[in-house]
Amino acid sequence: MNNLSHMPKDAVAHLRRQIGALEESGHAGAAVALGLPVLDTALPWGGLPRGALHEIAGASGDGAALGFALLVLSHLGPPPHPDPLPAGEREGPVAKRWEGEGVGNQPKSSRAHSPARPILWCRTHSAIADRGALYGAGIAAAALNPRRVIFVTVARNADALWVLEEGLRCDALGAVVGEGVVLDFTASRRLQLAARGGRALALLLPPSAAHMGPSAALTRWRVTSDATRRPTQNAVSWRVALHQCRGGRPQTWKVEANDAALRGAVAVPLADGPLEDASPHTISGSGAG
């Protein structure tokens, strides 16, 4: 029998990461490409897998993490093989919204042309106080259709967790977002398991990077505005750090673009290492107030 104790520690760690990624890939769904090749190729799946939890944190009062989440969601198309709503989910506001988009009971031949599914976005009162209200023009500036987004506002973490779990169990949704939610490892594990049981993309946006405790998320990101560049109208300048990735390694990039939709964006790898705090400023058009 092979004994791992005779292998170098770094080789053992690499092997465990590969095994973990393979185990997770059996549950994760098709990946959502970020539209930035240098970032997508750094991920074992070529993007962020559906059916999994991903954490995106930033600095308090900074709209960069929110803008990055909008970027991800703007690339979220229909599932590879969408199905009509299950019989038990053809009632209620989500199903009505879904049918309103012309998808509810489509024949098989038309499924390939199904529109992208709705996005459930749960915000806490503290998130609204810190980042401001999301508005249609700001969402549209990030190339995301505001009509796809269903907002829910809650006061307590416990309420947010319930909303997120229920949303992840609903096959009608394309993504579920929890903003301003603080979760311990057990709660994050519950969300990861709920996401694994469905096919929605799960995004968690904690109040700030200071709230990044132990987590069961498949990937964890830290995104802050680049304080070395003076903010201009609709321009984007971010420091994007892949803090944790099962089967991958931590990396950091500088991402710049002339608009919030990141058309023609440039992503440049930076030296590995912890991401320093940047002086917060709001990116116009990212949806942050």
Over residues 62-97, the pLDDT tens digits come to 889 999 999 899 988 876 654 444 444 434 444 444
Alpha-carbon distance of 288 to 52, in angstroms, equals: 25
Contact 252, 226 (CB under 8 A): no
Superfamily of domain 8-83+92-101+115-270: P-loop containing nucleotide triphosphate hydrolases (3.40.50.300)
What tens digit of pLDDT does each residue of 248-283 get?
999 999 998 877 667 767 788 887 544 444 333 332
The yes-or-no verdict on residue 286 having pLDDT over 60 is: no
Per-residue pLDDT tens digits for 172-203: 999 999 999 998 999 999 999 999 988 899 99
The rounded distance, in Å, linking the Cα atoms of 15 and 68 is: 30
Q: 55 and 221 in contact (C-beta within 8 Å)?
A: yes
Distance CA 31, CA 79 (A): 10
Q: How far is CA 247 from the centre of its chain?
A: 18
Tokens of 18: 């590969």
d(CA 272, CA 179): 27
Give CA–CA dist 74/71, Å, rounded: 5
DSSP SS3 for 205: strand
Pairing of strands 219-225, 52-57: parallel
Q: Work out the number of other CB atoms within 10 angstroms of the CB of residue 28.
A: 21
Cβ count near 41 (within 10 Å): 10
Q: Confirm whether pTM is higher than 0.75.
A: no
pLDDT at 102: 39
